Every structure is written in structure tokens, then in C-alpha cells.
A and B are shown apart, each in its own frame.
Chain A
């Protein structure tokens, strides 16, 4: 694979160098992995906006695997010295690329349009590097959501749980009613998504010290043992065949009434809407019990690369279009996420979207908006995956809670080394 990649890179380098000269008109080349129906439709809005302004859109979609394949393609392009104009990217991947010194500078347009004031500070940590804007955030997904089937909830008392104990009580009742209480897919990132919320439910300070500051005392401490105990408790509510299941199949279980609830980021909402379910009447969206007021986020951004002067203007135009409030609204209504700037009106959004926008603004101003560990906004890829390993091994019963907390601290130390 690597041999293939390097040879491709070398060949690409031979051919790519004289290419840019051929294009006198303005164009942007965009590497992304938004190829599925709703995502592609959302991105098409941006494409049309740019084309109306005379900028040609050269599409470079690399589908699959949450962007891993796209990042591999990007490696080849950057190694060959011919990066695309803009690349969809997440969290610490952006920081990692910025450290390689290959990213562009959006300062000109960001200053003019006052991004500093409207984009939440927690997002700026990633979209800015050394004080320079390098990426344009498209949206904010928050990950500490629970999606509950209204019918199953009514049968289990009808009150949405607000604390851990109430959650356990509802799950118990759902189990007594004969359905799978928790619809879940046993893939490392899904286990980690629940783990994020569980850690956050034990306190925002605890989340910050363990997941973001990676404090060994917090990672291996008693509170982490409690977090793992809660994971064990939740494991008791999933069905036997959960291992390896995709997240949208877990959503389908809730939609069909086979499962009571799913703990997943707000992209799950799209599955409910596609099945013609209405927020409030068919399903209920709540924050993970005990985390109301705080938000763990992940945000899709377009990272801008250093390009020649002939392409610079189109690049800045694209960045400006992404941060356009009208685009932010229309894109995020389709995608299920919320706008990456806090001054976008929420009129076009459904109830869950409105709650998401309100929660985000609230958490941001209270300093309780944190990057999601499970989605690469709390720690770099190496550390994130080291955390995944331990969380998923514990969730699959290979480690008990005490051993898991110890392993967590060790794994993070090893990954940082």
C-alpha cells in the first residue's frame, strides 16, 4: 500500500507541476468525503454559490471511513508538492497539518468579516494556528445526545431522564417491557462516543482534566473507575449482537421500536427524519443525563492549503462563502448539525436543531464547550486511538473497571512518548 502510494506520489509530482499554468480562470479544488445523499446535497449549495460568483469547483471526493481515505490521498498530494485548495478535515488533523507548515492564511477575509467574534472560542482553537486563521468551520455537531423512541419512553413512564439514576430506571423499565433498552453498535468510535458522554456526566472539570489535559491522575483515578463502572452498567442494556454493527443500524432499531434509545451525535437525527419521524412526537432528543449545559462537539472544517497567487483569490472567496450566515443555515438544516457561528437565526431548524443552537451558545459562553475525544477534538490521533483501544476492550469485557482506568493512563503515556 505504502509503496503504491509513494510511487503514485512520485508520478503525480512529475505530472502535476506544470498543471496549474493551464488554468487561467479562477477555480477551487476541494478534497472531501461528503458523498452520501444528504451530505452531497448540502455541499452542492456551496458549489452553486461559488459558481454564481464565477469560481469553478473541481470536485475531488474520496469516500469512506470518516475521512481516513481522504487523509491518505491528501498525504500523496502534499508529498508531491501539489496540495488541493481546500480539504475537509477534523480537529487535531488540522493542527497536525498546520505543524507541517503547508497550510494557508485566511486572515484577510476573517478580519474583514469578524470571525473572531462570531465563531465559538473552542472552535477557534482548531481553526486558528499561531493566531492565523487556517480553516473555515462549516458546522458544529454535538455528541452528547440521547435519541429516545417516544413510544418506548411513554411505556417506561414518559419522563425523559435528567440524572444518571433516572436513566438507569428508564432503561430498567424498557428492559422489563421486553425491548432492547439501548441500541448500540459495537465499533470502537461508537463505544468512545458513549464514553465521552459518561465522562462528561461526572463533571465538566473531570472531562477537561482527563480527556483534554490528559492528566494521568484523572485518567487513572477513582472517578475514572466510576466512569468505567457506568459503561459496564450500560453494556448490560445492549443486545447480544451489538458487536460490529453500524451506527445507522442502531438508529434504525430505535426507529422501528426494537430498541428504546441510542446515545449518538446529532447526525443520527438525519436517520430519524429520513424515516419520516417528527421530533417531539415520534422521538425525543435530550442531552445525556447529567450533561445539560455542557456540550462536547466535533466540527467539520475546510482546511485551506498554501496555494499559488493565481488561486488565492478563489480560496478566500470560498472561505467567505462558507461563513456566510445564509449558507450556514441552509447547509446545517440539511446536515443535521448546527451553524459554526453563533449569530445565525434558528428559524429554519426543527426543535432538536433549535435546542442544539441554544445549548451550543449557552455552553460556549459558560466555558463548557469541549472538544469530543471520540471525534478527534480532544487529543491527537495517536492518543485518541490509544483511548479507543482501552474503552472498547473494557466495553467488550476484556478488562474490568479498575484495570481499564490503569490501562487508560498507561496507554495515553505510551502514545504521547
Chain B
């Protein structure tokens, strides 16, 4: 009975106000429904697939429990892919952050021609990874690229053939990826540097701090949120890395440059092992969640305090 008394006054309120209340919900509903089905729905679908014995087509008549995951972690190509992911993501994130920060600091020195230099560093980001990959494949190919040119210029002993060597090929992918992304990281840091309060720097200068100390003790520590954003952006790019690898080496030489995303595509669509492919996709998703969830927690949770 108490409910009735509390809801009664709402019925009398202005219908316009009710509409205003509902409108945002109505507008958002279609995209919400689409995302619910096509993102989260299919995550659940993939999760089911990974426990099924699906081969060529989705097949929910046979359940194999964790067998797909067991086979996945016993597969030498998956182990190679995980090792490559570790090498790639650590080097990619560290080198990109370092180069990006260095470029940003140099550009922040109020130098002449900044407006001309900044886009030069940023433009690689405008290319797709496929274009980057093909260009670097040719550039690093010993027969037509760097090595060939150096030798034809007279430096006969010059040798740079990492892309053809199983042990080193993954590093050539790091080189291409760093070239592509460090300009973007630079832009992030530059925005961060421009946001630093001048008062703090002036105060430090009055106290007699050198430029180096100001950067080391004040500005770079202030960049912490930028580091965090750069890390999240780069880390998920690293886990998803597929197009660059396909364009540069297609997993070769041998199986030396397989990555988890390449594994997922090859097993699901090439090898008719949809169950195992789904299992690898779920593992990749868990890796991304392991990065994103703490980040979101710190970002959103922090503001509530």
C-alpha cells in the first residue's frame, strides 16, 4: 500500500518531463542492443564454442570440456606465439614510450618549425599496419632492400638479414611497429607536457634546479597518467597484432613469428579447428581484460573518492 502512495504523484507530472526523461534512453537503445548482441553476445558465443568440439562449422552437439584448452597449451605453435607476444609487447611498449617521450621533450623546447616536424613524426600512424608491413618487408629484404643498397654503394660486408632468420625475425616486426606507433605516443606526451603548470616549473627554476632535474623530478613524474594511457593503448594493439605480421612475414620463417591473433585466424578458418581457435580467442580476451579492467578501475574508481 505504501507503494501506491509514493507512485501516485508521478502519474500527475508533466508528460513532457517524462518524455525528456525517456528520450536519451530511446535514442541509446538501438546501439545498446546492437553492442549487447554483437559484442557481448558473441563473446559468450565464442566462450561456448571453445568448450565444444567444433571443427569446420559451429557444432554444439559435442562437448569436450577443457580439452581445447589442454590441446592449445600443448601446441608448439601456441607456445611460440606466446613467447613472441611477450618479446613483442615488452619491446614495443617500452621502446615506443621511450622514443615518444624523447621526441615530445625535444619538440617541447619551443624550437623553430615545430608545426612542420610534428606531422612528420605523426604521419606513420595514418598508414594501416598492412601498408607499414609491406613497406618494411621490402625495406628489410636482403635481396632488394637495405642490405642490397648498402652493398651496391660499396659497403660489401654489410649484412642485415634479420627478417630471414627465425631467431631474429620477431625483432624486425618490433622495428616496424615502433616506427608506426611512436609518433602517436609522442603526440600523447606532447599534449601532456603542454598541460604541465608553468608555475611549478618557474618555482623550481627559482629554487635553482637544472633543466635535467626539472624533467627528471617534476615533469616526467607528472606524466604518469599519460604513461598509463599509452600503456593501455599499446598493450591492446600488441595483443591484437595480426595485420602487421601477416604483411611482413605471414608467420615465417617457418613458424618463427606466429602471434596469438595469427594462431586464432589460422586455426579457426584455415585448419578447421574452430574449437581450438575459439579457445585461443578467449585466452586473448582474458589477456586484454587483465590490462583493461585494472585501468578502468583506477580511472573510474579514483574519481569517486
Contacts and interface: CB of A to CB of B under 8 A. Distances in A.
Contacts of A392: 252-255
A417 B71 contact: yes
Interface string A1-13: 1110011000000
Contacts of B42: 2-3, 6-7
A380 B57 contact: no
A276 to B, nearest CB: 25
B272 A382 contact: yes
Given A2-B281, A380-B272, A381-B271, A396 B254 contact: yes
A417 B161 CA distance: 38
Interface in A175-194: 186-188
A243 B57 CA distance: 33
A71 B269 contact: yes
B124 interface: no
A1 B42 CA distance: 11
A195 to B, nearest CB: 13
Interface in A267-320: none
Contacts of A382: 55, 271-273
Contacts of B260: none
Contacts of A186: 252-253
B33 to A, nearest CB: 13
Given A78-B57, A382-B272, A389 B255 contact: yes
Contacts of A7: 38, 42
Interface in B260-300: 265-266, 268-273, 281
Contacts, number: 90
B166 interface: yes
Given A1-B265, A244-B249, A385-B266, A96 B272 contact: yes
B71 A414 contact: yes
A6 B45 contact: yes
B149 to A, nearest CB: 14
Contacts of B161: 240-241
Contacts of B281: 2
B74 interface: yes
B254 A393 contact: yes
A99 B142 CA distance: 46
A417 B42 CA distance: 27
A397 interface: yes
- Most A CB contacts (10 A, CB to CB) among B38, B77, B252 go to B252
A79 B57 contact: yes
A179 to B, nearest CB: 15
A414 B75 contact: yes
B94 interface: no
A347 interface: no
- Most B CB contacts (10 A, CB to CB) among A75, A243, A398 go to A243
Contacts of A385: 266, 270-271
A241 B141 contact: yes
B160 to A, nearest CB: 12
A97 interface: yes
Given A2-B42, A97-B56, A188 B252 contact: yes
A100 B74 CA distance: 28
A162 interface: no
A244 B145 CA distance: 14
B76 interface: yes
A158 B262 CA distance: 46
Contact of A395 (B56, B58, B254, B256): B254
A51 to B, nearest CB: 33
B214 to A, nearest CB: 48
Nearest to B42: A3
Given A96-B56, A382-B272, A240 B265 contact: no
Which DSSP category, helix, strand, loop or mixed, fits chain A's interface? helix
A36 B166 CA distance: 32
B56 A100 contact: yes
A399 to B, nearest CB: 9
A396 B166 contact: yes
Contacts of A241: 141-143, 161, 164
A194 B265 CA distance: 26
Interface in B195-244: none
Given A3-B38, A96-B55, A100-B56, A244 B270 contact: no
A44 interface: no
A233 to B, nearest CB: 18
B182 interface: no
Contact of A381 (B57, B250, B253, B270): B270
A213 interface: no
A92 B38 CA distance: 32
A391 to B, nearest CB: 9
Interface in A236-256: 240-241, 243-244
A244 B253 contact: yes
Contacts of B253: 186, 243-244, 392, 396
Interface string A362-394: 000000000000000000111001000100110
Contacts of A75: 56-57, 269
B135 interface: no
B254 A398 contact: yes
A104 to B, nearest CB: 17
A3 B164 contact: no
B52 interface: no
A68 B74 contact: no
A2 B54 CA distance: 14
B39 interface: yes
B46 interface: yes
A163 interface: no
- Most B CB contacts (10 A, CB to CB) among A97, A389, A397, A407 go to A389
Given A79-B58, A381-B271, 19 more contacts: A2-B268, A3-B39, A3-B42, A6-B45, A96-B55, A96-B56, A188-B254, A243-B164, A244-B163, A244-B249, A244-B253, A381-B270, A381-B272, A385-B271, A389-B77, A392-B252, A396-B254, A414-B74, A414-B75
